[in-house]
Amino acid sequence: MKKILNDLYQHKKLSKSQAKKILLEIAASQYNEAHLASFMTVFMMRPITVDELSGFREALLELAIKVDLSEYNTIDIVGTGGDGKDTFNISTLTSFIVAGTGQKVAKHGNYSVSSKSGSSDMLQSFGYEFTNDESILRSHLEKANICFLHAPKFHPAMKAVGPTRKALALKTFFNMLGPLVNPSSPQNLLLGTFNLEIARLYHYILQDEKSNYGIIHALDGYDEISLTSEFKVFTKSGEELIYPEDIGQKRILQTDIYGGDSVTTAAKIFKNIIEGKGTKAQNNVVLTNAAFALKIIDANRTFDEAFSLAKDSLFGKKAAQCLQQLITNC
Amino acid sequence: MKKILNDLYQHKKLSKSMAKKILLEIAASQYNEAHLASFMTVFMMRPITVSKIL
């Protein structure tokens, strides 16, 4: 590790295979906390490269407890978090709306790092019990069209860096890896990032793969389509800058999608929206994200078609039924 | 310390008085090992300035 660190201090880059090897060694607890903290700091002092991120990702996927859901055509809808915006759980709500349209969702999630409530916080507050049992996850997909993959259950390797990350309490490259390491390797991905640099990195990594994907970054900082500003979308076919007005939406205020300062408040807002009782702004944000998710799965759909499918799921209480099914069957 | 580290990650420099203050705090064991390792790493990634040494 000393040799590698000395090279990195001189601003040398790691190859993909070097990056992978080091992360495998880190996961095997081969380094002390000081070395780990120093290693993580290197990538805060300079941008991480595509090869480095890609190598770290390969290591984590190799060590993950994998689940085979390949006979379903699933989508994951997840963001890096860390946008510091404290919104309500937009990607989790989006997931249930998409599930309500009949599309299978394999959502990867975790407790919150930055906002007050992550998808795991939310589902736990509704009484959902995390599991990595493949047969249970399959039955959730059958009955509720959605299964939830709580990251710590699938990535035991991350335990080796838990204490250092906690002690640092700063955003490290590990925060960028979450959305890239869904242990069921879904065929479709709608990912959000807290900055454009990460969106580009994701784009370069996913370009070489089979999955359909969309990567979102709203230019005012959100890691999802917020409708508070224009947003960037990267897909297999390139990149686009979309204004809310382009898709027939009204621009909304940041306060319209605030999620409160506790899990309890966020859960209340969540329940309200999923029961179809959200404000117009709240509804339009989740429906727009759901429409983009549906367009990723089937690029031939127009935005308006996808949006009305999403509306039918939300206001026809189908999304709410999926949540109900998921919780009662766990 | 988190604020200082975040500034340093963006390649901001410390003033002489800031540098002195932080080292006094470090000597008083006010920071955990991870923060210390990260702080030292910053100055391995970029040259230290004169005002910090003096």
What is the predicted pLDDT for the residue at A260? Answer: 87
**Chain A, nearest residue to B6 by Cα:** A170
Q: Tens digits of per-residue pLDDT, A25-54? A: 999 999 999 999 999 999 999 999 999 999
Q: Tens digits of per-residue pLDDT, A111-123? A: 986 666 899 999 9
What is the predicted pLDDT for the residue at B51? Answer: 77
Say whether A41 and B42 touch across the interface (CB within 8 A): yes
Domains of chain A, with CATH numbers? Answer: 2-63 (1.20.970.10), 74-328 (3.40.1030.10)
Q: Tens digits of per-residue pLDDT, B27-48? A: 999 999 999 999 999 999 988 8
Residues in chain A: 330
Average pLDDT for chain A? 96
Tell me which chain B residues have a C-beta less than 8 angstroms from the C-beta of A34: 33-34, 36-37
More confident residue, B54 or A101: A101
Tell me which chain B residues have a C-beta less than 8 angstroms from the C-beta of A167: 32-35
Class of domain B2-53: mainly alpha
Give the strands of the sheet with A231-235, arranged side by side.
A146-150, A104-109, A74-79, A188-192, A212-218, A231-235, A238-242
Question: Would you list which residues of chain A are within 8 Å, Cβ to Cβ, of chain B?
Answer: 5, 9, 11, 33-38, 40-42, 44-46, 164, 167-170
Pairing of strands A231-235, A212-218: antiparallel
CA distance B24 to chain A (A): 20
Classify the complex by whether its ipTM is higher than 0.85, answering yes or no: yes
Tell me which chain A residues have a C-beta less than 8 angstroms from the C-beta of B44: 5, 9, 38
Say whether B32 and A167 touch across the interface (CB within 8 A): yes
Phi, psi of A106 (to 5 degrees): -115, 90
Q: Do A100 and A318 form a contact (C-beta atoms < 8 A)?
A: yes
CA–CA gap between residue B44 and residue A240 (Å, rounded): 39
Output helix, strand, coil percentages for chain A, rounded to the nearest 5.
Answer: 55, 10, 35
CA distance B1 to chain A (A): 10
Q: B22 CB contacts (<8 Å, ≥6 apart)?
A: B4, B14, B39
What is the predicted pLDDT for the residue at A115? Answer: 62
Say whether A34 and B5 touch across the interface (CB within 8 A): no
CB pairs under 8 A between A and B: 59
CA–CA gap between residue A291 and residue A148 (Å, rounded): 20
What is the predicted pLDDT for the residue at A329? Answer: 85
**Chain A, nearest residue to B31 by Cα:** A167
Where chain A has pLDDT below 70, the residues are 113-116
